[in-house]
Chains A and B, each alone.
Chain A
């Protein structure tokens, strides 16, 4: 049922680093990736979100859809090349005018990600690069792999999909231990929070109780 085991959890790093990287584990995980990316904003940060992606990416995954993203002020920059996307990300991060700059950029070099990291620190924003895979070198503090999970139980209708769940696997973190966490989308605030595995019928049997913040073991 779970695509990757939920292992060795430390404390989930709630607070975003200036630059992070996240990739979708599979082709159907694009929406989960976007939901995770949006949750990397600082809590209560009302600045808009810039998203940049090539037209090819938007054709493959679909375009962000406002009615499905309540409470997010989105600016979309469809670009032709990765260089344009990186440039737009850097401009947005440096300006400090956005809470999150989100870019579907493949194969950014170490130097390019370093520039983004620096710009994010300068502007006080969060940058999130969404490559296809996590093979290359990157200056991102954390590198995540996101996959969808079966949803939580809908208390009103057991046959309907309930609150969305996903696995966020920290593949590499600077000075942090890798781990995987199960996150659940709050139906009202639309923010992701750590799923309470004890309340869930499917995963309650796995592991033992006692992890500090309801983390799956």
Chain B
């Protein structure tokens, strides 16, 4: 790791000349070495050794506790960053997924000036981002894994082709085949030290000679390295079908620069969609920072579209300023995350004017959503429920068309107080309409009242506090100032309240204001 600005005395752990190890507890509670720097390896330490043994061998070994979860997070973030070279990047599942990345560069190397150039670029960018890595290119993931770790020159850009992969792998130790320690030990015992030693062995005999099926594993790994057996990798993010991409030499550090490039990207992305008759419903802009991080911004649309101008506008509404540019971006990628056929749109609309109106409404909702967020542009959705506060749910308006309510007959408030607010009320009869009530500290005299409208509790829906829900009697009341309110009494005298001390007396609530 590279220290960016020495503001404090140099940490001896950061000096690559000092042996350094990360330590974690194994399942028996003993501290074991989990990761080593080259100096520690050169001193003869190895992974899995107990810390006590290691310190006995190298007393000046520097140890720090390992944080595998943070490692995994960092590696996944790095994998996303590496999508600048390939849409399909996976985290190496071997070694607990903490060790390496696989980039599928099939058919992509020429975009970066050839295989040698791209390997050098990947290595240089990683060093700039503070990550020293071995880089190798090979026809199979297994061979690339081996060459990146054990290849000539310490994995400094080793490139194998179909013709050379066999000879390049031959001198490497058998560990390079991604084998567990037990298999490696057995192979050693048979005198099989290098991968090349395995080539003349008959496969069936090789597999049989090892214990517990380890040989099958060995053969499988060998075949995977040589490309005889396939190997499925799971990319960190599914590779998008539509993707526009741009990289440049000098990092761009300002929003204007990003916007200028985005203008080109939207046009690049729109063209193939038009060609295929597709439209995008969601777009993500990913910026690749020179420090190894990524930053992204997404916009969503209610209906599929491919108008580059509208996309650009949506990204502006969503706020390009939200992108964290850091020390600058050196690549930008625009992907279509949700793609739909443009022709699949249902033509339920009757006239051209209505279609145009629906179109402009959808565009408005897209724009509002891009700026305010999906949960802040809402449309009501009717719900089958007796309870007034449940009879309507506000859902994101994105992708939905407006609906109107039929007149339900019963008069309902224009503005609903949710949750209802407690009210002090006096009724002439215990189960009658209120004669006077105090709401928000103002006492009001009721001049007219209508009710009750009795709503029974939905016994099949338990309340979160597990209290039995009680009947509500709703009243429309008018006070002497002309205000009209929707009040209810929760709980019935007699049936639900007998006057016993442990029972809650029926109480009054303000649920809404009528016009």
Q: Report which A residues bind B (CB closer than 8 A).
A: 3, 26-32, 34-35, 47-48, 50, 61-79, 84, 87-88, 91-92, 95-98, 147-151, 154, 157, 159-161, 164-166, 185, 190
Give A127 Cβ to nearest chain B Cβ, in Å.
14
Residues of A within 8 A of B365 (CB): 75
Closest chain-A Cβ to B439's Cβ sits at a distance in Å of 9
Which of B361, B363, B414 is the one whose CB lies under 8 Å from A64?
B414
Q: Which residues of A contact B449 (CB under 8 A)?
A: 159-161
Contacting residues, chain A, for B363 (C-beta < 8 A): 95, 97
Question: Whole-angstrom distance between the alpha carbons of A185 and B482 in the complex?
Answer: 14
Q: In the bound complex, what is the Cα–Cα distance between A91 and B372 (angstroms)?
A: 12
Q: Would you call B357 an interface residue if the criterion is a C-beta within 8 Å of the partner chain's C-beta atoms?
A: yes
B402 touches A185 (CB 8 A): no
Cross-interface CB contact of B405 among A30, A71, A91, cutoff 8 Å: A71
Q: Which residues of B sit under 8 angstroms from A75, Cβ to Cβ?
A: 365, 377-379, 397, 402
Residues of A with C-beta under 8 A to B379: 74-76
A contact residues around B407 at 8 Å (CB): 70-71, 190
Closest CB-CB distance, B136 to chain A, in whole Å? 51
Instruction: State whether A68 touches B478 (Cβ < 8 A).
Output: no
Q: Whole-angstrom distance between the alpha carbons of A75 and B391 in the complex? A: 17
Question: Are A68 and B450 in contact, with the CB atoms below 8 A?
Answer: no
Asked whether B431 is an interface residue with its Cβ less than 8 Å from the other chain, the reply is no
- Residues in A with CB closer than 8 Å to B476 are 160-161
Cβ of A161 and Cβ of B408 under 8 Å apart? no
Q: Closest CB-CB distance, B29 to chain A, in whole Å?
A: 51
The majority secondary structure among interface residues of chain B is mixed
Contacts of A166 in B (CB 8 A): 515
* Given the contacts A48-B402, A70-B408, A91-B367, A77 and B450 also touching, CB distance less than 8 Å: no
A67 and B405 form a contact (CB under 8 A) = yes
CA of A31 to CA of B379 in the docked complex: distance in angstroms?
19
Asked whether B371 is an interface residue with its Cβ less than 8 Å from the other chain, the reply is yes
Closest to B450 in A: A160
Kindly report which residue of chain B lies nearest to residue A67, judged by CB atoms: B412
Contact flags B39-63 to A (C-beta < 8 A → 1, else 0) = 0000000000000000000000000
Whether A28 contacts B478 by the Cβ 8 Å rule is no
Which residues of B from 357 to 400 have beta carbons under 8 Å from A? 357, 360-361, 363-365, 367-368, 371-372, 376-380, 382, 388, 391-392, 394, 397
Top 8 A-B pairs, shortest CB-CB distance? A62-B415, A160-B450, A28-B483, A73-B402, A35-B515, A65-B416, A68-B412, A97-B361
**Distance between Cα atoms of A132 and B376 in the complex (Å):** 23
Instruction: List chain A residues, Cβ under 8 A from B392.
Output: 65-67
Cα separation A71 to B414 with both chains bound (whole Å):
12
Q: Tell me the bound Cα distance from A167 to B287 in angstroms.
A: 57
Q: Complex Cα distance A195/B492, Å?
A: 39
Given contacts A35-B414, A68-B416, A161-B450, 13 further A-B contacts (CB under 8 A): A3-B481, A28-B481, A31-B513, A32-B515, A47-B361, A62-B417, A65-B512, A84-B371, A95-B367, A157-B450, A161-B476, A161-B484, A165-B482
| Residue among B403, B481, B513 facing the most chain A CB atoms (10 A cut-off) | B513
A88 to B404, CA, bound (A): 22
CA–CA, A27 and B441, complex, Å: 12
Alpha-carbon gap, A72 to B364, bound state (A): 18
Chain B neighbourhood of A165, CB < 8 A: 482
A-B pairs with beta carbons under 8 Å apart, 23 shown: A28-B481, A62-B415, A62-B418, A63-B416, A65-B512, A67-B412, A68-B411, A68-B415, A70-B406, A70-B407, A70-B408, A71-B404, A79-B376, A98-B364, A147-B482, A148-B483, A148-B484, A149-B482, A150-B482, A151-B484, A159-B449, A164-B484, A165-B482
